[in-house]
């Protein structure tokens, strides 16, 4: 018996269950954020300059990314279509934003305390929420704004005492806040393109663009471009495995399923981790005021997460 094609077209399509990443986007984001929180520690341990450190982080994993693209051609961006070309240039733009963030952020870490740099970079959520509102007409919910305000208050408590010594590191503090603007651009750009493009080409193309920019700047301004001792290479390997692959790639994976605003909000968690490690490794003090700020920060994050999930 012949099958009526019109009947097939009108037949209901069974919804596909969400994939693993979609079902676990929030834990993947959290794991990525925990991993990237160790970035300032590896920057301090690096034996090359801050810009070259960023270049090493982005260059060393490139063979892995392009090997995966070679083995899985279906994941490549279809440059023969208008949408594919637009997505390609959005990924390129995300690489430019990320390069700016890396230059400013790594330089700030070398010019101020780890806690200062981590906390002052937390103006990122404000940039992301405003950018989403102005560029994409994504007006945030009132509850989300309340959660963001509580979290930012917690961040302010955390940095109150660390900023008491900021007079000798004003330049580093300013660089950290400027880095937040570039990272907000990275999050906003990648959150749009990740809805259509898989993780490997976004990481491969973005890393190439960022690495080229950082290589040029490092060659002009710094003496060493690559580590020259076993300890230096171990620090670079830790940066690649923990921060770039285990951290930044996981964050990019979650951006297809988690709002850009919530991703930026979750970055408010990060000062607590490098702050604790810096206390153990570099003797940077952590006070009860900073602990109270961390608790307020966690409360604000949970309020915003619940608002986003609804």
Over residues 234-247, the pLDDT tens digits come to: 989 988 888 888 88
> Dihedrals φ, ψ of 271, to 5°?
-55, -30
pLDDT of residue 264: 64
The tens digit of pLDDT for each residue in 106-153 reads 777 777 666 666 666 666 766 766 666 666 666 667 777 777 777 777
Does the structure show a pLDDT above 50 at 10?
no
Structural domain range at position 91: 25-309
Classify residue 11: in a domain, yes or no: no
| Model confidence pLDDT, tens digit, residues 170-210 | 677 677 778 888 888 888 888 888 778 888 888 889 999 99
In this structure, is residue 48 part of a structural domain?
A: yes
Of the pLDDT bands very low, low, confident and very high (cuts 50, 70, 90), residue 213 is very high
Residue 59 inside a domain? The answer is yes
Do the domain assignments include residue 19? no
DSSP string of 191-246, one letter each residue = HHHTTTS-HHHHHHHHHHHHHHHHHHHHHHH-S-SS--SHHHHHHHHHIIIIIIII
Express each pLDDT in 248-281 by its tens digit: 888 888 777 776 666 666 666 666 665 666 566 5
Length of the chain counted residue by residue: 310
Q: For the chain, give the percent of residues with pLDDT over 90.
A: 11
Q: Which helix (H) or strand (E) holds 289?
A: helix 288-309
Please indicate, yes or no, if residue 123 is contained in any of the structural domains: yes
Q: How many distinct structural domains can be found in the chain?
A: 1
In a domain, 20, yes or no: no
- Is the pLDDT at 297 greater than 70? The verdict is no
pLDDT of residue 298: 66
Q: Please provide the DSSP assignment of 78-101 as one string.
A: -TTSHHHHHHHHHHHHHHHHHHHH
Q: What per-residue confidence (pLDDT) applies to 13?
A: 41
Please, what is the average pLDDT of the chain?
75
40: nearest Cα among 175, 136, 168: 175
| Rg of the chain, C-alpha, whole Å | 21
Rounded to whole angstroms, how far apart are CA atoms 116 and 21?
Answer: 33
Does 5 score more than 50 pLDDT?
A: no
**Residue with the larger pLDDT of the pair 210 and 287:** 210
In this predicted structure, what is the pLDDT of residue 39? 78
The dihedral sign for the CA sequence 15, 19, 25, 29 = negative
**What pLDDT, on the 0 to 100 scale, is given for residue 135?**
67
The pTM (predicted TM-score) of the whole model is 0.70
pLDDT at residue 103 above 80? yes
The verdict on residue 10 lying in a domain is: no
Model pLDDT, residue 134: 66
The pLDDT tens digits of the residues spanning 52-100 come to 988 999 999 999 889 988 988 888 888 888 888 998 999 999 999 989 9
Cα 251 to chain centroid, rounded: 6
Contact predicate 128/264, CB 8 Å: yes
Does 18 fall in a domain? no
């Amino acid at each position: 018996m012949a099958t009526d094609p019109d009947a097939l077209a009108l037949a209901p399509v069974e919804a596909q269950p969400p994939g693993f990443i979609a079902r676990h986007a929030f834990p993947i984001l959290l794991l990525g954020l925990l991993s990237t929180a160790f970035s300032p520690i590896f920057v301090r341990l690096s034996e090359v300059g801050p810009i070259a450190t960023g270049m090493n982080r982005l260059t060393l994993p490139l063979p892995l990314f392009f090997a995966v693209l070679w083995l899985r051609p279906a994941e490549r961006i279809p440059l023969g279509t208008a949408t594919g070309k637009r997505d390609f240039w959005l990924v390129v733009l995300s690489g430019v934003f990320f390069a700016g963030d890396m230059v400013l952020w790594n330089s700030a870490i070398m010019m101020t305390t780890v806690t200062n740099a981590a906390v002052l970079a937390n103006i990122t959520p404000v940039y992301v929420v405003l950018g989403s509102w102005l560029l994409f007409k994504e007006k945030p919910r009132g509850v989300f704004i309340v959660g963001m305000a509580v979290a930012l208050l917690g961040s302010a408590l955390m940095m109150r005492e660390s900023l008491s010594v900021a007079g000798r590191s004003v330049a580093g503090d300013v660089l950290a806040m400027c880095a937040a603007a570039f990272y907000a651009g990275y999050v906003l750009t990648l959150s749009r393109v990740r809805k259509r493009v898989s993780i490997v080409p976004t990481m491969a193309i973005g890393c190439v663009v960022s690495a080229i920019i950082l290589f040029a700047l490092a060659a002009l301004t710094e003496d060493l471009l690559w580590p020259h001792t076993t300890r230096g290479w171990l620090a670079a390997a830790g940066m690649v495995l923990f921060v770039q692959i285990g951290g930044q790639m996981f964050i990019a994976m979650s951006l297809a399923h988690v709002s850009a605003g919530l991703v930026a909000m979750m970055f408010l968690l990060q000062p607590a981790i490098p702050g604790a490690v810096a206390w153990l490794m570099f003797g940077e003090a952590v006070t009860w005021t900073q602990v109270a700020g961390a608790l307020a920060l966690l409360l604000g994050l949970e309020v915003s997460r619940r608002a986003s999930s609804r």
